[in-house]
Chain A
Amino acid sequence: MKLPAVLTRSTALRNLAITVVAGLVLFGLTEVFSEYRNTQLANAGINFCAIAGLTVLTGLSGQISLGNGAFMFIGAYTVALLLKHHPSTSNPELVLIVVAAVVVAAIVGGFVGTAAARLRGPYLAGVTLALALGVPVLPDYQHLEGPLGGHAGLIVNAPGPPGGTLDLERWQAWICCLAALVTFFVLANLRSSRVGRSFTAVRDDEIAASLAGMSVPRIQILAFVVSAGSAGLAGAMLAIIDGQIGPQSFPLQISLFLLAGAVFGGLGSMAGAAYGAVLITFLGGWSTDLSNALSLPSKVDLNLPPAFYGLVLIVSMLLFPFGLQGLVRRGWHRVRTRTRPVEVAAR
């Protein structure tokens, strides 16, 4: 089977083809999945949006963020507040609301990115960590308690599936997968565009990049905007799916889990983001099942998921430091060199 020439030449078309094929696969999955599996698929879609954004930031532009949960919070609260003030929103209008959430999160990301562009390594990690800790407790602040609903959070009354016959879970899986596919298409194209290459240039050598005429801070800020926007989309979808959000929906762990997912999957890679999304969707449930099976005391049980993530990171760092996608790529490369050495050499 030979790829049509048009697909090898145009990255955008190739990415579109992957998006369409992936969309069909996902659609097929929602048809066969049980209700609960569809809810998990929806969550995986949400996680993909957030991890894909983070993997662009950390893997391509080389900046670390421990605070993407804060951008998810912003996206989620934007949706919740807009829906609260426009109670009878239709599904097409919901799209506008989601777009607004992405824009708001991206703008905040721009501000944070401006500060972040001046910071390196652990200092940047520190600032973003503060963000992850500080932003989600805003509703508890006395003067914001009214509009943001305090610790009890806000109820999100999103319009349900159109028509009366579609399962809620299947519908939710669809819209979350759609969000994930849009994220994939945009980010995959961005990655192979001039902007994406400038991200990598800045990551590899800031001085060389600026000598080549790039504005390093501007590029770093742009990476932050992209990553915040993706996290905002994830938050928006989470609000719609869960029907309720509060400070407790965005604990510090969520930011750390996203990073763990991105590293496990393979930083900078979209396929890696997908592996990471699947991992963090299931890991929580697995650890609960495990602790139930072993009937562990609740104090151990509550700390099991973070411990699991730590373990996964250690193991993946030891066995496949470039993430699961790195492993896949290496294995694939080996197969190809054995079967078609000439073509590989030519690349």
Chain B
Amino acid sequence: MTKAPLRLLATGVVVALAVAACGGGGSKASAPGVTATTVTIGSHQPLTGVAAPGYSEIAPASNAYFKYINANGGINGRTINYTYLDDGYNPANTVTVVHKLVEQDKVFAIFNGLGTPTHQAVVSYLNQQKVPDLFVASGCLCWNQTTTDPETFGWQPDYTVEGKILGQYIAKNFPGKKVGIFAQNDDFGTNGIKGLEDEIPASSVVSTQRYDPTNIKITPQVQALQQSGAEIVVSFSVPAFTALLKLTSVALKFNPQLVVSNVGSDPITLSGLISSFSKGKAPGQALIQGIISDTYLAPPSDASNSWIQLFKKIHDKYIPKLPFDGNVEYGMAAAYTFAQALKAAGKNPTRASIVAAVEKGGFSGPGLVPFAFSSSSHSGYTGVQIAKIQGLVGVPVGTPLVTDDTPKGAITPYTTAEPAAPSNGIPSD
């Protein structure tokens, strides 16, 4: 070590400390990300990678809805800036992009962060930092932890609720049939299986196979399902893996009745994926006919539904290149709920006031079933309606059903009709 570098270092210290003395101690704004005219929110989304097919439409759809709101005066006079960053469905990237959103972009809240393993990576960070973590795009039970994660709220029905309703349908309509399970090997799959096994007798489950979303070779799992003699296969999978399951089954001449969780069953996405994975050799639409699934939103093809009319209008104006499918509807519906929450958070929203507003609940918007939001529950939609794929539509069957995620919680029909969309398409008070 020579003298001059040491002198340089010493100068550096003095300067750094001097600046620190002057710059420190500034107080934080009461609500980061909120100005007189804007509210900035952020999200992590799989714009690339294995979960991107289908899901990559969700954030652009939410953004289209926000643009529509902004063009019509915003919420309480503020426009919504929505920054969504790609995490490639990789939890390691999720950590990086969410830190960037919170610390550099100073977002007011994280909205609709997508994925179970990805969002799990940032939940404790967001709660530690007291950043509202609204309407996670995943049905993991883990978003409903009001004591440890008070800032986090789910949105879609949780996978256990879904598993229970799918399980009850199977038990009633296919009594005595052998059931195989194909599920993602994280809490998405685990929560779904939990609900399913509440309703299906353990003796009829002949095989449970898990897949890793980073490994697209699922032939061993499908072979195991085939050898177990499963007549029904219930799949808790993202769309790419539902498509792979179908294609691999076809290749093995294995043709069980498929029952697919909502998140992996959008018909337009699946049909396109099957065609593109098989390089056009397999008929996407033909192969998905008769798949049983469930929904909590009206089918995108239902032109008589006021929400579909609203979303279609926004779609055609802002994102005409995307297919008008379940993902786009999902993105806009979630954005609508956010707009409701922001409206309810008051004229000068703070992080605490928006959390309080969601806990107060009472949001009525698109959805065949109500939300569970309260101070003791951070779960979203409380149920689903069974749907069967016909053509490129999941056609609802029977009535919407609601339940909770406990084994004993009864499954009951929900008969209140879906409220109509407001005429201007923007939530009022």
Contact = CB atoms under 8 A, between A and B. Distances in A.
A32 B9 contact: no
Contacts of B282: none
A145 B86 CA distance: 27
Contacts of B20: 28, 31-32
B24 A31 contact: yes
A298 B48 contact: yes
Given A24-B13, A28-B16, A31-B20, A151 B99 contact: no
Interface size class of A (residues with CB under 8 A): 35 or more
Interface string A142-177: 000100001111010100100000001100000000
Contact of A243 (B9, B88, B95, B215): B95
A168 B129 contact: yes
B12 interface: yes
Interface string B54-91: 00000000000000000000000000000000101011
A34 B103 contact: yes
A39 B103 CA distance: 8
B9 A22 contact: yes
Contact of B91 (A18, A248, A302): A248
Contacts of B121: 153, 155, 242-244, 246
A63 to B, nearest CB: 27
A35 B99 CA distance: 9
A155 B91 CA distance: 11
A119 interface: no
Nearest to B213: A151
A249 interface: yes
Interface string B1-18: 111001101101101110
A95 interface: no
Contacts of B92: 242, 244-246, 248-249
A151 B9 contact: no
Given A36-B104, A145-B185, A243-B95, A155 B124 contact: yes
A242 B90 CA distance: 13
B313 to A, nearest CB: 27
Nearest to B187: A152
A128 to B, nearest CB: 21
Contacts of B212: 140, 150-151
A9 interface: no
A32 B185 contact: no
A88 to B, nearest CB: 13
Interface in A311-340: 332, 336
B16 A29 contact: yes
B128 A244 contact: no
Contacts, number: 124
A273 B16 CA distance: 22
Interface size class of B (residues with CB under 8 A): 35 or more
Nearest to A26: B16
B304 interface: no
A153 B122 contact: no
B117 interface: yes
A211 interface: no
A130 interface: no
A96 interface: no
B186 A150 contact: yes
A298 B47 contact: yes
A2 interface: yes
Contact of A152 (B88, B104, B120): B120
A160 B213 CA distance: 32
Given A155-B120, A249-B92, A160 B128 contact: yes
A21 B14 CA distance: 10
Contacts of A346: none
Interface string A186-219: 0000000000000000000000000000000000
A140 B215 CA distance: 10
A14 interface: yes
A25 interface: yes
A21 B100 contact: no
B214 interface: yes
Contacts of A298: 47-48, 86
A61 B19 CA distance: 41
Contacts of A169: 103
Given A1-B3, A150-B185, A152-B91, A36 B100 contact: yes
Interface in A264-300: 298
Contacts of A31: 16-17, 19-20, 23-24
B125 interface: yes
Interface string A31-55: 1101110110000000000000000
A21 to B, nearest CB: 5
Nearest to B11: A25
Contacts of B213: 151
Contacts of B1: 3, 7, 14, 18
Residue in A17, A24, A151, A152 with the greatest tally of chain B CB atoms within 10 Å: A152
A243 B13 contact: no
A25 B147 CA distance: 40
Contact of A28 (B13, B103, B124, B128): B13
B59 to A, nearest CB: 14
A300 to B, nearest CB: 11
A285 to B, nearest CB: 8
B116 interface: yes
Contacts of B186: 150-152
Contact of B117 (A17, A29, A151, A302): A151
8 contacts: A3-B6, A28-B17, A32-B20, A39-B103, A151-B117, A151-B213, A242-B95, A249-B92
Which 10 pairs show the lowest CB-CB distances between chains A and B? Answer: A28-B16, A31-B20, A244-B121, A36-B103, A36-B104, A152-B117, A35-B103, A152-B186, A249-B92, A298-B48
Interface of A: 1-3, 7, 14, 17-18, 21-22, 24-25, 27-29, 31-32, 34-36, 38-39, 140, 145, 150-153, 155, 157, 160, 168-169, 242-249, 298, 301-302, 332, 336
